Structure 1
Amino acid sequence: MHIEQGGQGPDLLLLLHGMGATGAVWSPLLAEADVRWPGRWLALDLPGHGRSAPQDSYAVGQLAASVARAVLPHADASGRLVVLGHSLGGVIALALATGWFGVAPHQVFGAGIKAAWSDDELRRMDALASQPAKKFATEDEAWDRYLKVSGLAPLVNIAGAASTLALRGVAQEADGWRLAMDPRANAVGKPPLSELMSVARCPVHLGRGAHDALVTMEQTRALDAHATELGPHGHNVMVEAPARVWDWVSSFD
């Protein structure tokens, strides 16, 4: 699994990105890590994303197990493990909060987790998972598609150069360019959010940007009655307002 890391100390902050993206989406947040986080951090590419290898199953439990195996060698028993996940990464963070996968987070944060799924949405995801990766004749076409799929297209001027924010999002093959994401990762299915929240063994905090089109505050507070509104931002709030996300995490120290 592709992992980027930095910082010093026993505490560890694990950053989990959303579907279709890579660990590079955390670059605006990590630009402030030296002054906002008193420890080490890991930002990885989820299985089947970026430079991380694909796997046979992308069920939430299988994703959480893969992430836990990758994180365990970096965890320090004398320090805290804090997990911050966005969208799909937030779902995986909730799964890790159960303690079922060999890691024991001290706190978990989930931003922008989609809480309601229609049958049509699930059917579309299954259809995408069954299709081969689309090939593009040029690199520019592949990048354009990647920025749209990952939700980063309207944010590149806010967060800086797309080359920094979207690293590892596309891959070149002999017959053209494609998105780095394994299409089968779309088959993650409807996550059992209420069930995961009910068996969490550590404090779990949910939040969303006020303009997040994928989840409402009502839906988020149905899972976490004390969920935090993270300001007038969209789905990728950690890109739009990294300082606000740092404030959120630090408010629960």
Structure 2
Amino acid sequence: MDTLNMRTGGQGEPAVLLLHGLGATGAVWAHFSVLLDRRVLVPDLPGHGPSSPLPHYSFGTLAAAVARALPGTGPYVVAGHSLGGVLALELASGKYGVEVDGVLALGVKAEWSQDDLGRAATFAARPPRVFETREDAEQAYLKVSGLLGIAPADPAGLRETEGGWRLAMDPAAFGVGAPDMPALLAAARCPVVLAAGEHDPMSRPEQLRALDPDAVVLAGLGHNAHVEDPAAVRALLERFGV
């Protein structure tokens, strides 16, 4: 049976579900979640941190695993970063038995080249790399999660193993592929806010505005805007009454 590590706290409805991006853990939401005056649920996605890996990774299998781990059917307001933003949109389709009142999809990579997909497939096929020291593994974790220079490594994102240290992340998770953003947006049964940092190299504002002319550009911020300026991103949830 798969297990999903879930951080919880606070009181008040609707609860807010926070979904991290590929390579990170729920710890990236630590400074963000304390700004919310309601119940907060922050999972480590399958194959990340102490959460169990999946036999196959797709947006559907990841969203289904999150839905199974929730304490009830909602309603939830869901904020997701990068991969987590795609999963938030998946959940908003209603296919997983979860009631979603609103979605904030932050820093989602909307356009994928064949080179992008090829690199991801290569990473997914590799065994976990073993580093001689914990410090080297921490640096690798921060690079993979895009957190180098803006946050410390989450200890739950590392694992001691024979010969040294490795990332806790299952490399196969890189094989999720590219999301069909137009279809996901069309299927969402709730209001959706698309947002990205002005300097996000993975989620260019013009790409998001091609999907939604009202997409929000967060001035001066990069890919992990929720870590760089939690208050600026938290303000976007006010659109859902949160």
TM bracket (short chain): over 0.9
Query: Contact conserved, 2:79 with 2:105, CA < 8 A, in 1?
Result: yes
- 1:91 equivalent among 86, 94, 102: 86
Aligned match of 1:128: 123
Question: 1:231 is matched by which residue type in structure 2?
Answer: A
Q: Percent identity between the aligned chains?
A: 47
> Over aligned residue pairs, what C-alpha RMSD do you find?
1.2
Query: Contact conserved, 1:12 with 1:75, CA < 8 A, in 2?
Result: no
Aligned match of 2:190: 202
Query: Contact conserved, 2:77 with 2:240, CA < 8 A, in 1?
Result: no
- 1:102-158 Cα distance to aligned partner (Å, 9 max, x none): 1020101100000010001101111111110000111111001111111111213xx
Query: Contact conserved, 1:13 with 1:42, CA < 8 A, in 2?
Result: yes
Partners of 1:5 and 1:75 in 2: how far apart? 16
Partners of 1:229 and 1:125 in 2: how far apart? 26
Partner SS state of residue 168, structure 1: helix
Partner SS state of residue 100, structure 2: coil
Partners of 2:123 and 2:76 in 1: how far apart? 34
Q: Where do 1:1-253 residues align within 5 Å? A: 1-33=4-36, 37=37, 39-71=38-70, 73-76=71-74, 80-156=75-151, 162=152, 166-253=154-241
- 1:1-51 Cα distance to aligned partner (Å, 9 max, x none): 000000113321000000000000001112323xxx3x2000110000011
**Structure 1 unpaired stretches of 5+:** 157-161
Partner SS state of residue 251, structure 1: helix
Partner SS state of residue 5, structure 1: strand
> Which 10-residue stretch deviates more, 143-152 or 83-92?
143-152
Aligned match of 1:159: none
- 1:48-107 Cα distance to aligned partner (Å, 9 max, x none): 001100001111011111111111x2445xxx4100000000000011110001102010
Partners of 1:251 and 1:231 in 2: how far apart? 18
**Structure 2 unpaired stretches of 5+:** none
Partner SS state of residue 116, structure 2: helix
How far off is 1:231 after superposition? Answer: 2.1
Partners of 2:156 and 2:96 in 1: how far apart? 27
Question: 2:20 is matched by which residue type in structure 1?
Answer: H
Q: Write out the 4+ residue segments of structure 1 that deviate beyond 6 Å after TM superposition.
A: none
